[in-house]
Amino acid sequence: MALQERIVNLRSDTVTVPTERMRRAMYEAEVGDDVYGEDPTVNRLEAMAAEMFGHESAMFVCSGTMGNQVAVMTHVSRGDEVIVEADAHVYYYEVGGISALAGAQPRTVAGINGIMRVADFEAALRPPNVHYPRTTLLCLENTHNRAGGTVMTPAETRALCDAAHAHGLSVHLDGARLFNAVVKLGVKPVELTGCADSVQVCLSKGLCCPVGSLLSGSKEFIAEARRNRKSLGGGLRQAGFLAAPAIVALTEMVERLADDHRHADQLAQALASLPGVRIDLGTVQTNIVCFFVADANAWVAALQERGVMANAMGPTMVRLVTHKDVSQEDIQYSIRMLTEVASVAKR
Ligand SMILES: *Cc1c(COP(=O)(O)O)cnc(C)c1O
């Protein structure tokens, strides 16, 4: 193999590095001990998030996983049942935390492009019976990672929230990539978050922060969530150094996500014409491109040799994620390498 012309890292938007403005904000951040509630920058970020997501209160957490798991721990009691979409991150990629940390059991319902139908959700509910767990929580995901970054609309979100609330369940929204949905749909964040009881939003993905997520909910919910965060070792001290770039992210890193979406669309259009590649263009809505080949690991290895880094998400599924640190030239180069790999790969 000839020397690679360049390296394009399309494994995830988590690989993004903070901008100059973020680094400056970190350096200049006014800080205090956040476990005592005395970090002014964290307090400013949390107030901003609560307002933005339409909740009374919000809290900075170390990661999306911590935000989701703290939320589940706060919503449920031991032995409860949690309804999740069958490919949801909170169920698929969080080390069994629903069971291990919250002591609850997940019940999966398959969605279409990651979105559960209300009737399928309702069919999974249980009537009161001494044999049954109590079903107390519904988890939603927007955008949906394994479905390919698919977007749930305000109407779809509201329909599921209304159904859950009518049956006495709470709703947690895993909005790791919420802002990708916000930009795609051209809506305000609150239109996608306001009807959920809690929301987790990642700062360290497309928004380019080094670390962190936000969890929002009612005043009582966040007060209890702070205890659960502490129990997981997530009580941070001068966390203002992490909150400062998050404030930059929320104020100036959202609109540029449209560039990532355009780049993902270019990759998807090119893939659709390649031999041995199966792709549903309908699933390519934001910054994730999932496609299917005979041998995903062989594809990922062949791409890696050519300087394009991708993830195999299953035996036949490959995922590419676009982000700030991928340029238009990087996309053109990646399309050339994808074309080359398609021409040599086993079908
Ligand atoms: C990445 C991701 C998470 C977890 O975030 P981490 O910060 O990596 O722990 C949760 N949910 C979804 C949908 C994600 O894509």
CATH number, domain of 80, equals: 3.40.640.10
- Please indicate, yes or no, whether residues 173 and 41 belong to a single structural domain of this protein: yes
The protein residue with its alpha carbon nearest to ligand 1, atom 4, reads 64
How many folded domains does the chain comprise? 2
Q: Is residue 2 part of a domain?
A: no
Domain boundary among 224, 252, 280: 252
- Please indicate, yes or no, whether residues 45 and 144 belong to a single structural domain of this protein: yes
Q: Which residues line ligand 1 (CB under 6 A)?
A: 63-65, 68, 89, 141, 145, 174, 176, 202, 204, 213
Gap from CA of 204 to ligand 1 centroid (Å): 9
Q: Is residue 115 part of a domain?
A: yes
Q: What is the pLDDT of residue 1?
A: 52
- Please indicate, yes or no, whether residues 99 and 214 belong to a single structural domain of this protein: yes
Gap from CA of 63 to ligand 1 centroid (Å): 7
Domain boundary among 252, 272, 307: 252
- Please indicate, yes or no, whether residues 117 and 247 belong to a single structural domain of this protein: yes
Q: Tens of pLDDT along 4-30? A: 789 999 999 999 999 999 999 999 999
**Residue numbers of the domain that contains 321:** 8-15+256-346
Contacts of 129 (CB under 8 A, 6+ apart): none
**Integer Cα distance of 329 and 83 in angstroms:** 43
Domain boundary among 252, 286, 304: 252
- Please indicate, yes or no, whether residues 150 and 234 belong to a single structural domain of this protein: yes
**Integer Cα distance of 203 and 185 in angstroms:** 19
Q: What is the pLDDT of residue 4?
A: 74
- Please indicate, yes or no, whether residues 203 and 107 belong to a single structural domain of this protein: yes
The tokens describing 241, both together, are 């150094």
Q: Is residue 183 part of a domain?
A: yes
CATH number, domain of 315, equals: 3.90.1150.10
Q: What is the pLDDT of residue 53?
A: 98
Gap from CA of 90 to ligand 1 centroid (Å): 8
Q: Is residue 3 part of a domain?
A: no
Question: Within the chain, which residues score under 70 in pLDDT?
Answer: 1-3
- Please indicate, yes or no, whether residues 238 and 294 belong to a single structural domain of this protein: no
- Please indicate, yes or no, whether residues 53 and 109 belong to a single structural domain of this protein: yes
